[in-house]
Amino acid sequence: KNICVVGLGYIGLPTASVLADHGYLVHGVDVRPDVIEIINRGEIHIHEPHLGELVNKVVSQNKLKASTEPCEADVFFICVPTPINEDKTPDLSYVEAASKAIQPYVRAGNIVILESTSPPRTTQDVVVQNAIPEDLEVGKDVYVAYCPERVLPGRILIEVVENDRIVGGVTTACTDKVVEFYKSFVTGAVLPTDAISAEITKLTENAFRDVNIAFANELSILADKLGADVFEVIKLANRHPRVNILTPGPGVGGHCISVDPWFLVHACTGATPLIKTAREVNDMKPHYVVQQIIEAANRFDNPTIACLGLAYKADVDDFRESPSTEIATMLTESGVGVVLACDPYANSNNLPGLNLCTLQESIQKADILVLLTDHRQFLELSPEDRYGKTVIDPRGAWSSTKASRVGINNAA
C-alpha cells in the first residue's frame, strides 16, 4: 500500500516514519520547503527521542520521501495543526487547505483519515466536503474516518504504536475499512465508533486533564495565600484511596491541552462552564507566578532573576503556548531586575527577546532562581547550587515533599 501523509510535524512525521518502518511506501507532504529538504536528507526538524534514527533509516531505505505536493495513494492522512484564533475559536484553515490539496489525487477505493485534533463535525463538514471528489460516494467508493492522535510528546514513537486507537468512520463501512488498516501497525486495541463520538472523545480526554490540572493550580494559589505547602497537602490527600490530584505548575502549555478544551466550549455555547473556567484558571496561573516573583524581587535592589526552563514541559523542545516562556517574557518586560532565561533547547531564533544564557551563568549570577520547566538538567543540580538564593519552584520539582512528582508520573 502507498500512503500519503499531509503535515510533517509532531504527529505526521512520527506516523509517516512508523508506517514506512512497517513496510508501507510513504510520501510525506509539508508546505515548508526547508522541512522537506531536512527530511529528505534523513534528518529531522523537531526534537523527539529516537525519531532522528528512525527517519534516517526509512529515508535511506527509500520508504519515506517528502515533498511539498501530495501524490496518488491508497491511504491519505491529514495531520496538520488546528490552532485557535485570538477569540479562542478554532482555526480550521489548515485542515481545509490539506483536504483541498489531496482532492485531485483521491480515487475510488482510497481511505482518507483525519488525525488532527478537531471540533465536532470537522470530518464531515471540512474533510468530506473538500477532500472527496463529487463523483465518489463516501462509504461506498471512498472511506473517511476521524482517528485522533493521542501521543504524548517525549514518548511519541512508543505511543503511536502501543496506545489504544479510536476509529470514527463517517459510515460503518468507513469504520470497518479503517479499523482493519490501523490494526496493521498498532499493537493497542483499535476501537470502532462514529466520527462525531471520536471527535468529542479526543477533546474530552484533554479537557479532563485540563480541568484536573486547574484544580491543582487553584489549590496552589489557595495554599500560597494561607501560607501552606501545597505539595504537602496534595501528598497527604492522595493517600486517600479515591483521590488523585495532579501537580500544580506555572500554568498549562503546549498546543493541545491549552487549546483543545476551547473546541468543546465553542461547540455548544453555555453548556461548558466548568471546562471554560478551568481554561481561565490555568491561563491565569502564569500571572500569579509573576506576581510571586516580583514580590520576592522587591526585597532586593536590582536583583538578577534566572528563569530555568522555557519549554512547555520537561525534556521537550516545544515552546508553543508555554507558560514558562510567558513568565520569563512578562518578567523581562516588567523591568523588575536583570532577567536571565535558560533552557537547553532554546536559541535566539526560537525565543527572541529573552536574555538567554547558560545554566552555569544563571547559577553564578542569580539572586532569585525560578524553576519553571523541570528539565532533567535542572533536577540534577545539587542543593549547593541553590544555596543562599531565593528559590521559587511552582512545580515543586525541588521540593523535599516529593509529592510534586505525582502528576508527572501520571503523565508518563
Instruction: Supply the residues annotated as catalytic.
Output: 202, 256
Nearest CB to ligand SAJ, comparing residues 117 and 118: 117
CB of 132 to ligand SAJ, least distance (A): 26
Nearest CB to ligand SAJ, comparing residues 20 and 213: 213
Classify strands 143-146 and 165-169 as parallel, antiparallel or unpaired.
antiparallel
**Nearest residue to 322 (alpha-carbon basis) of 341, 298, 294:** 341
CB of 264 to ligand SAJ, least distance (A): 13
Q: Which residues pair with 148 in a beta bridge?
A: none
The arrangement of strands across the sheet holding 390-392 comes to 338-342, 304-308, 368-371, 390-392
CB of 300 to ligand SAJ, least distance (A): 28
> In this structure, what DSSP letter does residue 19 have?
H
By beta-carbon distance, which residue lies closest to ligand SAJ? 407
CA torsion, ordered 55, 59, 61, 64, to nearest 10 deg: 100
Structure-block grid coordinates of residue 95: 485542515
Which residues are near ligand SAJ by CB under 6 A? 117, 149-153, 205-206, 209, 213, 246-247, 249, 252-254, 256-257, 312-313, 407, 411
Burial class (CB in 10 A: 0-12, 13-18, 19+), 140: exposed
Question: 74: helix, coil or strand?
Answer: coil
Nearest CB to ligand SAJ, comparing residues 249 and 303: 249
CB of 318 to ligand SAJ, least distance (A): 8
**Nearest residue to 328 (alpha-carbon basis) of 247, 248, 250:** 250
Nearest CB to ligand SAJ, comparing residues 139 and 154: 154
Region class of 10: left (phi > 0), else alpha (psi between -120 and 50), else beta: alpha
CB-CB neighbours of 97 under 10 Å: 14
Structure-block grid coordinates of residue 324: 514558562
- Phi, psi (rounded to 5 degrees) for 97: -65, -40
CB of 71 to ligand SAJ, least distance (A): 27
CB of 346 to ligand SAJ, least distance (A): 16
CB-CB neighbours of 392 under 10 Å: 20
